[in-house]
């Protein structure tokens, strides 16, 4: 519907739920929010929640494609299209630890994708290779290395050219001056895959890091005398990514963490190329990753990304963790949009915005989407 009125049992505008509310759409944009009682007789009705399209800041692939060697602008467009079919209006395709040549190639592809204005492409997330091998997770340890001058220059140039660039690094693998330079260039520096101390983490945040990647996973844990990176994430005001599939972080731990942090926590899928497909396994740097009981694992059982969509993560937060619906929806929309400076374009339903709407059923499962005022079907997983 490029124009008309869509009435929902509730509308989440990015901050709060409005019961029995209509969204007025004209020429692919939102013209107004109105009480359902004021809607015209011919208005469409949705017996569920209308929410902004979700925002996913960590997608390692989708539609059978992984971000890596050979990724070009067209591949990034296909990955973004896959995630729009799963409920995310926008995403950051994510390159995990690779060679300098592959990193440079993916960054160039991202700049071209931005130039061509592909729907849903918000920028890139470069996760590694400047990590701590003691917390490698599924990353190839042979490719992990400290940040050098050429790495820094490459990332700073890309940060200035892309709509958004998130860089996950470990404080052990980058100097405070490098973190500061990245931040000043416009990159969102996120701490992750690190065995750093609490003090090292705080020093990196003071240098310019303002996010933490997939809380609790591949990082130093909370001890009563050694809070580690996980403790720094919860004690600071930095943004924090969370994989809420029930496997990466126990629901009870999520509940405690969200009680500790009043705001700033956002959901990520951390999905792999399998997202949006029926494939059961893929290869990553010569290692097999398979689907197993709702997880993605290496042959040794190590978690390798997640078999997750953001709508499912919202359901987990509400059903298993007990988080209010408003907070769960914000963690998938307005909060991540703000983290990468895209709050003016994504994560809210308000007059003047693009009509990018996700339609959720009574169980908060996705049942449809409207992108720029046009209805689109969604994949089931």
What is the number of other CB atoms lying within 10 angstroms of the CB of residue 32?
A: 14
DSSP string over 193-214: SB---HHHHHHHHHHT--EESS
Give the distance from CA 99 to its chain's centroid.
Answer: 23
Going 97 to 102 to 105 to 109, the CA torsion angle's sign is negative
Residues 6+ apart with CB under 8 A from 278: none
SS3 per-residue string spanning 39-67: CCCCCEEEEEEEEECEEEEEECEECCEEC
Residues 6+ apart with CB under 8 A from 301: none
Q: How far apart are the first and last CA of the chain?
A: 24
Which of 270, 278, 307, 356 is labelled catalytic?
Answer: 270
Q: Which of 107, 112, 138 is nearest to 124 (CA)?
A: 107
User: How far apart are alpha carbons 200 and 232 in whole angstroms?
Assistant: 9
Give the distance from CA 143 to its chain's centroid.
Answer: 24
User: How far apart are alpha carbons 336 and 57 in whole angstroms?
Assistant: 7
Half-sphere exposure of 358 (CA within 13 A, CB side): 32
Distance set, CA 177 to CA 51, 104, 149, 152 (Å): 40, 22, 11, 10
Q: Could you confirm whether 270 is annotated as catalytic? A: yes
Q: Annotated active-site positions, please?
A: 270
């Amino acid at each position: 519907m490029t124009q008309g009125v869509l009435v929902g049992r509730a509308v989440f505008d990015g901050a709060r739920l409005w019961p029995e509310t209509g969204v007025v759409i004209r020429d692919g944009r939102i013209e107004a929010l109105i009480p359902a009682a004021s809607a015209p007789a011919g208005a469409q009705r949705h017996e569920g929640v209308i929410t902004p399209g979700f925002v996913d800041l960590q997608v390692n692939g989708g539609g059978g494609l992984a971000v890596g060697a050979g990724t070009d602008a067209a591949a990034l467009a296909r990955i973004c299209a896959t995630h729009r079919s799963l409920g995310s209006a926008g995403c950051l395709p994510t390159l995990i630890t690779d060679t300098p040549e592959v990193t440079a190639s993916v960054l160039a592809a991202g700049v071209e994708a931005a130039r061509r204005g592909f729907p849903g492409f918000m920028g890139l997330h470069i996760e590694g290779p400047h990590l701590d091998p003691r917390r490698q997770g599924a990353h190839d340890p042979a490719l992990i290395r400290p940040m050098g001058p050429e790495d820094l220059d490459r990332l700073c140039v890309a940060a200035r050219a892309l709509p958004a660039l998130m860089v996950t690094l470990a404080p052990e693998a980058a100097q405070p001056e490098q973190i500061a330079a990245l931040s000043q260039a416009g990159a969102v520096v996120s701490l992750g895959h690190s065995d750093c101390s609490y003090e090292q983490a705080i020093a990196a945040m003071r240098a310019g890091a303002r996010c933490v990647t997939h809380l609790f996973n591949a990082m130093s844990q909370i001890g009563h005398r050694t809070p580690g990176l996980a403790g720094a994430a919860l004690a600071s005001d930095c943004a924090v990514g969370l994989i809420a599939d029930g496997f990466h972080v126990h629901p009870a731990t999520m509940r405690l963490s969200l009680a500790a942090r009043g705001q700033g926590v956002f959901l990520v899928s951390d999905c792999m190329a399998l997202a949006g497909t029926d494939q059961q396994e893929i290869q990553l740097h010569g290692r097999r990753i398979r689907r197993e009981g709702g997880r993605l694992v290496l042959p040794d059982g190590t978690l390798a990304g997640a078999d997750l969509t953001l709508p499912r993560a919202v359901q987990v937060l509400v059903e298993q963790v007990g988080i209010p619906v408003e907070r769960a929806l914000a963690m998938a929309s307005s909060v991540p949009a703000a983290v990468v400076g895209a709050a003016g374009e994504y994560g809210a339903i308000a007059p003047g915005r693009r009509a990018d709407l996700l339609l959720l059923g009574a169980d908060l499962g996705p049942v449809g989407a409207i992108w720029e005022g046009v209805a689109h079907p969604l994949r089931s997983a």
